[in-house]
Amino acid sequence: MIQDKNSIYQKQGFGGRSGFGHLSALILVDFVNGFVDPELLGSLSIAKAAEETVELLRFCRERQLPVAHTRVVFDEHGANHNVFTLRVPALKKLTETAFESQIVEVLKPLPNELVIKKQSASAFFSTGLSDWLTYHRVDTTLIVGCTTSGCVRASVVDSMQHNYKTVVVSDCVADRAQDPHDANLFDMQQKYADVMSKQHVIEHLETLGVNRP
């Protein structure tokens, strides 16, 4: 079945690559305590992806690449509750000061890194992220985080729709279950992004000489 599926996509011209441009930015989507901890809204796979991201984040910081983090943050009194919270009421717990909404300690942002507070799936929707990337002259996004089928996928689609070359770092994204993770990685590779391992991303960026001026 997998061979048949791949052949159909190949025959119809899917699965092309967009590659890397001149400057990449790392976007960490929702690596917060609530989405990492399997006892809250996370999973062991997401916790592992967060640990895998530590090396990539260090690499990007060493080369002074732009870094942006996202958090899901809702008003504790419900002023900005929306259809997302209607569908997933547990999201209402992700308030500004709640433990669940804080970025995990191993990926804690530095003072010069952008932290986006969002109330929807995509890191781009009503956040100003694209303007920030344009200001830094970024043309390639490296997307990590959770969940693969949810906020990562939404961010990847919007990244491509904003005309950024988009790379999903496969071992630095995860989901609550393996099937949606695998299916969405496959689909994103076919349509929206290059899916690459962390090691391949690092090796490729090293060949480009990615230090910022």
Domain boundaries, the chain: 19-208
Minimum mean pLDDT among 58-67, 163-172, 203-212: which range?
Answer: 203-212
Distances from the Cα of 83 to the Cα of 119, 120, 130, 158, 179, angstroms: 10, 9, 24, 19, 25
Query: In this structure, which amino acid lies at residue 149?
Result: S
pTM for this predicted structure = 0.92
Mean pLDDT of 160-179: 97
Question: Is residue 29 over pLDDT 60?
Answer: yes
Note the CATH number of domain 19-208: 3.40.50.850
- In this prediction, residue 11 has a pLDDT band, given cuts at 50, 70 and 90, of confident
Clarify whether 146 is annotated catalytic.
no
* Separation of alpha carbons 58 and 65, rounded Å: 10
Catalytic residue among 60, 146, 151, 172: 151
